[in-house]
Amino acid sequence: MNVEILGDREFITSVQEEDGVWVLIAGQSLYALPAEGGRALPVWSSAEKAKVFAEQLKKSGFSPMFVPMNNFLGVAWLGSTRLQIVDVLASPRYGQESLTYTAEELRARLKT
């Protein structure tokens, strides 16, 4: 079994157990990265992991915010045309490549 499959299982299981994900917010600003056709949204399975990542950013003021699973999978987040989320980065660590899902792939994985 390769590392990507193990990472996928760990991430999916963790966010299902938490019944949501953690994102980084500073005021009204959501931390996201440019991606082809929209934005890539980093999400974490715990507030602690998100906080560790935020502390590494040169931009200050970002802090973890919990998003319940129903909201995350719905029109407010992954289905939002305003947010334009095309990719989701699973529990990224600063300076390392992370497991990446398209928004549709992650929706399908989390609904099962």
pLDDT digits (tens, 9 = 90+) for 64-89: 999 999 999 999 999 999 999 999 99
Task: Return the exposure string of 51-81: e unless at least 16 CB atoms fall within 10 Å of the residue's CB, then b.
Answer: eebbeeeeeeebebeebebeebbeeebbeee
pLDDT digits (tens, 9 = 90+) for 33-64: 999 999 999 999 999 999 999 999 877 799 99
Task: Please state the domain extents for the chain.
Answer: 3-111
pTM of the model as a whole: 0.89
Q: What is the pLDDT of residue 98?
A: 86
Give the right CATH number for 3-111 from 3.40.1350.90, 2.40.160.20, 3.40.50.1100, 3.20.20.140: 3.40.1350.90
